[in-house]
Amino acid sequence: MIIQALSSRIAKERGWKILKRDDQFEGLKRWEIRGNLDACRSIIEQLTVGDSELEVKAEDIADACIRCEKGTKDGTMGFFVAGFVRRYENEELQEQSRRRREEMRKEDIEYFKLRSAKNSSPGESSTSHPSVRVAGVVKHVAKSE
């Protein structure tokens, strides 16, 4: 799915790339279980038609993907994560994106201020928690102690 998405005309036109492991946040970089290199190679081979080469490398994709299997010591139901970033060639588009991210950050701050005020009891201090925006929706992330 990741390779197909990155190989799409829209992803190429709009500058979407995989978030490489070296560019990930520290906790994500350290995650041991990554994508399946053989599966990535196989998919790239299937999608490569004639002389047309895909602009993605199996090694980069597999190393950038994060997996967790159900029923392991990690205690999850299993998951798969891949981050995407946009590389801009056009400075105007980059600036528009930066302004929109700043607007979203301000919206997130206001949301958590309101939520914190609503959930705080009198005399109780509120603590800030990080948030993540997923597809335009703010998700609360529990802070690990």
Domain ranges of the chain: 1-87, 88-145
**Where is pLDDT greater, at 18 or 124?**
18
| Rounded mean pLDDT, 91-111 | 82
The whole-chain average pLDDT of the chain stands at 76
The reported pLDDT for the residue numbered 50 is 52
3-state helix, strand, coil in the chain (%, to 5): 45, 15, 40
Exposed e or buried b for every residue in 73-97, given b needs 16+ CB within 10 A?
A: eeeeeeeeebbeeeeeeeeeeeeee
Only one residue has tokens 């990554």, namely 34
Only one residue has tokens 């002389």, namely 51
The reported pLDDT for the residue numbered 38 is 93
In tens, the pLDDT along 48-87 reads 755 456 677 899 999 999 988 888 887 778 788 898 888 7
Q: How far is CA 59 from CA 25, 37, 107, in A?
A: 19, 6, 37
Q: Is 138 helix (H, G, I), strand (E, B) or coil?
A: strand
Pairing of strands 84-86, 131-134: unpaired
- Given pLDDT bands bounded at 50, 70 and 90, which one contains residue 2? confident
